[in-house]
Amino acid sequence: MSHESALSPVEGIKTRSRLLRGTLLESLADPVTGALAEDDQTLIKFHGSYQQDDRDVREERRQQKLEPAYSFMIRTRLPGGVCTPQQWLALDALADQYANGSLRLTTRQAFQLHGVIKRELKPTIAAMNAVLIDTIAACGDVNRNVMSAANPYLSAAHAEALGWTRALSDHLLPKTHAYREIWLDGEKIEATEEEPMYGPTYLPRKFKAAIAIPPLNDVDIYSQDLGFIAIVEDGVLQGFNLTVGGGMGSTHGDTTTFPRLADTLGFVTPGQLLAAGEAVLTTQRDFGNRIVRKHARLKYTIETQGVDWLRSEVERRLGYALAPARPVRFEHNGDRFGWVQGESGQWHLTVRIEAGRIADRGGRNWRQALAAIARIHHGEFRITPNQNLVIANVADAERAAIDALLHAHGVDSGVAQSPLRLNALACVSLPTCPLAMAEAERYLAEFSGKLEQLMVGHGLRDVPIGLRITGCPNGCARPFLAEIALVGKAPGRYNLYLGGDRRGQRLNVMYRENIVEADILSALDPLLADYASARGSDEGFGDFVIRKGVIAAPPSVPLLHTASETQP
């Protein structure tokens, strides 16, 4: 077998695609089916969309000999999760006009629309672009939406980090004109085109980048392929620690796949950030595994070649040695809810959006509330990496009107909820995700309610314990960093993981495999009872189960302590 034929089939699709064009135009125009041609189903991901079908009705339609209920998920590219009120209103209108009546905030600070049918894909994407929101590279084997700390306190550093987030996103963006040709009726310039950074086959697999601003690790920096940890001294951004090779995804029962925490490579100045990002990305482009897709992320390249090899390859591309990493200290990876005042004197309201789903349901009319706020808001909206929302940059005089609009629509910031509920995450899962093995988003409220009852019984109602649920081990809600995680195995069955910390610096460990809800709750009950009576002051549940030997100590990030911490 030649090397060429051993490549993963997706490599062939990319090679033949003429820089992501494929036969997408023909597929979109085909009225006979709601689906795309097979290769185009891969290519459309690079344009920010996935073909899906409604799994709730899949069997019924099969029995009726109908094709599956195909529709498309559209994901935006929204560096740092920031959008204007006008953009919000445009997306809100599209949710009704073309999608399933809801907006979804993702764990990478983007929007998703679900349920868009094929013939309405183009008007939907065009309408997004009309308000300057594009979808290119939101999915596919490219650099994805770049995340940035959503902490509204550190206004000056945050603004600078956001600037670098946008610059990195632009720098690592594919240059193909295919997107404009297909969705925006752009001029056809294929003959003269090049893809200077990626080349014609793009990356071996998806690639994810984020910027964190300590002490907040809301972006879960150690789960990213490429990370920049801002080093801020006396309010001035000095540069960033460069991290590489984090990732969450794995396959049940396949020990060659695993979640991994990123390594810290060194320190870069702000002026070196873009080149450093490019050097890491192109190293992965050239050395990532293009044969076995499930080994194609940067984390496996590093596991195979070693972190020292990666550092020297990155330094060779940069033409200089990286400076040593600086000490960093993270305190937590959650959001802070309610109103806070930033350095500039403006106010920011973080609201809890359960599982990121913005809909009008059960008297809690989030969509109407946020649309009404967008009509009067002069600041911006920021999606957090925990699927919540910051209504940012509000003048003191305008706070009361925002509170009143929330109240009028039956919602609030959530501050009165238990910390468990406030911090819990769940991936989308069923009915749209084709890879889901169990419920996640639709199960979050029910499960967290039951766990909360157990905690109340043990006097732990106000103790923050991080819970994350995913419908499969791909890890879209970064479950392997949580203190308690449920990872879907089969309908109604989950693997139970314990032992993450609240700073996103330690992986958890599987405690029980393939169990149902009653067994999950009975497994947790005695541990919570013990935790309630024997925990140290400020000891997290994840730290506790390790100290007590309930699980073996899992991998964690080697800490570079600050000078004050290392002093006796």
Minimum CB distance to ligand SF4, residue 433 (Å):
3
Q: From the list 75, 118, 290, 295, which residue makes contact with ligand SRM (rule: CB under 6 A)?
A: 75
Contact present, 228 and 269 (Cβ < 8 Å): no
Among 182, 428, 451, 509, binds ligand SF4 (CB under 6 A): 428
Query: Is 139 annotated in the active site?
Result: no
* Cα–Cα separations (whole angstroms), residue 5 to 1, 15, 137: 6, 13, 27
**45 Ramachandran zone, left/alpha/beta (phi>0; psi -120 to 50):** alpha
Stretch that binds ligand SF4, among 107-115, 136-144, 204-212, 428-436 (CB under 6 A): 428-436
CB 95 within 8 A of CB 103: yes
Give the Å distances, CA to CA, from 529 to 13, 22, 269, 276, 524. 54, 58, 48, 48, 9
**Least CB distance to ligand SF4 at residue 175 (A):** 29
Cβ-contact 266, 324 below 8 angstroms? yes
Across the chain, which distance is largest between two alpha carbons, in Å?
Answer: 73
3-class secondary-structure state, position 219: coil
By CB under 6 A, tell whether 440 contacts ligand SF4. Answer: yes
CA–CA separation, 323 and 210 (whole Å): 20
Say which entry of ligand SRM, ligand SF4, none residue 107 contacts (CB below 5 to 8 A, set by partner kind): ligand SRM
Question: Within 13 Å, how many C-alpha atoms sit on residue 558's CB side?
Answer: 6
Shorter beta-carbon distance to ligand SF4: residue 251 or 562 = 251
In the bound complex, what is the minimum distance in angstroms from residue 494's beta carbon to ligand SRM? Answer: 16
Residue 135: contacted member of ligand SF4, ligand SRM, none (CB under 5 to 8 Å, by partner type):
none
Position among 94, 229, 428, 498 found at the interface with ligand SRM (CB under 6 A): 428
**Is residue 323 packed enough to be buried (19+ CB in 10 Å), middle (13-18) or exposed (0-12)?**
middle
Which partner from the list ligand SF4, ligand SRM, none does 214 bind, CB cut-off 5 to 8 Å by kind? Answer: none
Per CB under 6 A, 471 contacts ligand SF4? yes
Binding mask 20-59 for ligand SRM (x = CB under 6 A): ------------------------------x-x-------
Report the candidate in 494, 492, 503 with the shortest Cα–Cα distance to residue 524. 494
Query: CA-CA distance, 519 to 510, in Å (whole number)?
Result: 14
- Short-list 96, 217, 222, CA closest to 148: 217
> Which stretches within 117-183 are classed as H helix?
121-130, 155-171, 178-183
Among 82, 436, 507, 509, binds ligand SF4 (CB under 6 A): 436
What are phi and psi for residue 461, nearest 5 degrees? -55, -40
In this structure, which amino acid lies at residue 441? E
* Region of 143-151, 177-185, 303-311, 429-437 interacting with ligand SF4 (CB under 6 A): 429-437
Q: Which of 310, 427, 485, 545 binds ligand SF4 (CB under 6 A)?
A: 427
Identify the helix (H) or strand (E) that includes residue 389.
Answer: strand 389-394
- Choose the stretch contacting ligand SRM; rule: CB under 6 A; options: 160-168, 365-373, 410-418, 431-439: 431-439
Is position 112 an interface residue for ligand SRM (rule: CB under 6 A)? yes
Q: Does position 248 bind ligand SRM by CB under 6 A? A: yes
Q: Which of 77, 104, 144, 299 is catalytic?
A: 144
230 with 268: CB under 8 angstroms? no
Q: Strand 493-498: give its sheet, edge to edge.
A: 425-426, 467-470, 484-490, 493-498, 509-515
If one asks whether residue 244 binds ligand SRM (CB under 6 A), the answer comes out as: no
- Binding of residue 472 to ligand SF4 (CB under 6 A): yes
Q: Using CA atoms, how far apart are residues 527 and 544, in angstroms rounded to an integer? A: 9
Helices 273-287 and 298-305, axial angle in degrees (round to 10): 70
**Which listed range, 160-168, 300-308, 391-399, 435-443, lies at the site for ligand SF4 (CB under 6 A)?**
435-443
Instruction: Select the span of 112-120, 389-397, 413-421, 434-442 touching ligand SF4 (CB under 6 A).
Output: 434-442
Please identify which residue in 257, 429, 448, 508 interacts with ligand SF4, judged by CB under 6 A.
429
492 touches ligand SRM by CB under 6 A: no
Q: Are 150 and 157 in contact (CB under 8 A)?
A: no
Spatial separation of the C-alpha atoms in residues 236 and 93, rounded to whole Å:
40
Establish if 107 lies at the interface with ligand SRM (CB under 6 A): yes
Considering only the stretches 329-337, 350-358, 465-473, 557-565, report the one whose residues sit in contact with ligand SF4 under the rule CB under 6 A. 465-473
Q: With contact defined as beta carbons under 8 Å apart, do 434 and 474 qualify? A: no
Is 139 near ligand SF4 (CB under 6 A)? no
Q: Which of 45, 433, 478, 503 is catalytic?
A: 433
Q: Choose among ligand SF4, ligand SRM, none what residue 472 binds, the Cβ cut-off being 5 to 8 Å by kind.
A: ligand SF4
534 sits near ligand SRM (criterion: CB under 6 A)? no
Residue span binding ligand SF4 (CB under 6 A) among the ranges 168-176, 205-213, 406-414, 467-475:
467-475
Strands 236-244 vs 226-233: parallel, antiparallel or unpaired: antiparallel
> How many helices and strands (H and E) does the chain possess?
19, 22
Catalytic residue among 21, 357, 367, 427, which?
427
13, 73, 142, 484: which one binds ligand SRM (CB under 6 A): 73
Annotated active-site positions, please? 75, 144, 206, 208, 427, 433, 472, 476
Can you give the binding site for ligand SRM, defined by CB under 6 A? Answer: 50, 52, 73, 75, 106-108, 110, 112, 138, 144-145, 205-206, 208, 223, 247-249, 297, 356, 387, 427-428, 432-435, 474-478
Can you give the binding site for ligand SF4, defined by CB under 6 A? Answer: 427-429, 433, 435-436, 440, 470-472, 474-476
